[in-house]
Every structure is written in structure tokens, then in C-alpha cells.
Structure 1
Amino acid sequence: MSSLWWQYAVIAALVAASAAYMLRKLAPSAAWRWQARLAAWLLRRGSAPWQALGRRLLPPRTAGGCGGGACDGCGDAGDARPPLEQKVTFHRRR
């Protein structure tokens, strides 16, 4: 009976990790804001280990404009990536 709580703890950790992964994939801007809030809260704490954790959790700053990852390219660069979406055409069988 003493090992039962370990199983629940592992399951809870897996469910939390899955929910965090889903949030980052389906709502990246909300996940970025929450991560920034958590990092700011940790940075305001007094002890050095909490502040170090807050610095590690800071989300990366994304630069807008050309080269910042905001788009696939402006059309003037030769190394622009092809679009991620492709048109699918269905044909009827004869």
C-alpha cells in the first residue's frame, strides 16, 4: 500500500507534462505569457536558487521583421522556405 502513492505521483506528473505540451502546441502565445509570468515571479523572490530558476525559465525573445522568424520570407531572399500548407486535390474514381 505504501507504493501506491508513488504510482499516483507518477501519473499526475505525466498528465501535467502532457497538458503543458498540449498547451504549448495549441496555444503558444498563452503558454509564452504564462511562462513569462512564472519567470518574473521567480525573479522577484529573494533567494538566489529561485532567481536562477527564473532566469532559466525566461521565454526567448522573438524579434519581428525579417530574419526574426515572423514569416517564411519577404520574397527577395533566395533561401525562402516553401509554404507549410499544400493544396490537396481529390479525384473521383471511374
Structure 2
Amino acid sequence: MSALWWQYAVVGALVAASLLYMLRKLAPAAAWRWQARFATWLLRRRSPRWQALGRRLLPARAGGGCGGGACDGCGDSGDAMPPLEQKVTFHRRR
């Protein structure tokens, strides 16, 4: 049993990584809030190492407005993304 502790640690780390990945994919707003809260908690520590880790973990701010990825363009520029919907036409077999 004592020789298997590292296998349990590896499996636990893989499960934790899978849960974090799933959380970021299925609930990105909640994951962003939790990551920001954890990073600010680390920034309040006295040790410069914890503060450096907190600065590194601090998520990027969500950009709004033009060029921030908030929409596909407002019609002012010519580089707006094409619409995602396309008309589907069905043809009869001959």
C-alpha cells in the first residue's frame, strides 16, 4: 500500500486538472471570478513569491467595446466577421 501512494497522487492530480478544465469550458464567468478572487488573495500575502504568483494568475480583463471581442462589429469597419448562419438549400434527387 505504501508503494501505491504516488499513483493515487497522480490520479488525484489528473482528476483535479480535468475538473478545472471542465469548469473553465462550461462556466467561464464563474471560473474567471474564482481565479480573480484567488489571485487577489495571493496578492495580499507578504511574501514576494506569493505576490508574483498572484500577479501571474490574475486573469486578463474582459475587453468591451470596439475590438474587445464583445460583438462581430458595428458596421464602422470593413473587417466585421461574416454571419454564422447560412441558407441551406435542398435539391431533389433525379
Normalised by the length of structure 2, the TM-score is 0.84
Identity %: 76
In the alignment, the residues of structure 1 paired with residue 5 and residue 87 of structure 2 have an alpha-carbon distance, to the nearest angstrom, of: 50
CA distance in 1, matches of 2:40, 2:77: 38
Shift in Å, 1:86? 3.7
> Considering only aligned residues, what root-mean-square deviation do their CA atoms show, in Å?
2.2
Which consecutive unaligned segments of at least 5 residues does structure 2 have?
Answer: none
Q: Give the equivalent residue in structure 1 for 2:2.
A: 2
Question: Within 1, Cα distance between the matches of 2:3 and 2:68?
Answer: 49
Partner of 2:66: 66
Q: CA deviation at 1:76?
A: 2.6
- CA distance in structure 2 between the partners assigned to 1:16 and 1:54 by the alignment: 20
SS of equivalent to 2:41: helix
2:47 aligns with 47
Q: What SS does the corresponding residue of 1:68 show, helix, strand or coil?
A: coil
Q: Once the 2 structures are TM-superposed, how far is the Cα of residue 74 of structure 1 from its aligned partner?
A: 1.2
User: Where do 4+ consecutive residues of structure 1 move more than 3 Å?
Assistant: 85-89
Deviations 1:51-92 (CA, angstroms, capped at 9, x unpaired): 000000000012211111111111232111234x44686x6x
The equivalent residue for 1:24 is 24
- Aligned partners of 2:25 and 2:15: how far apart in 1? 15
Give the Cα–Cα distance (whole angstroms) in 2 for the partners of residues 81 and 60 of structure 1.
Answer: 23
Shift of 1:2: 2.9
The worse-fitting range, judged by mean Cα deviation, of 19-28 and 1-10 is 1-10
**Which residue pairs with 2:13 in the alignment?**
13
Instruction: Report which of the two structures shows the higher radius of gyration computed on alpha carbons.
Output: 2
Q: Which moved more, 1:39-48 or 1:66-75?
A: 66-75
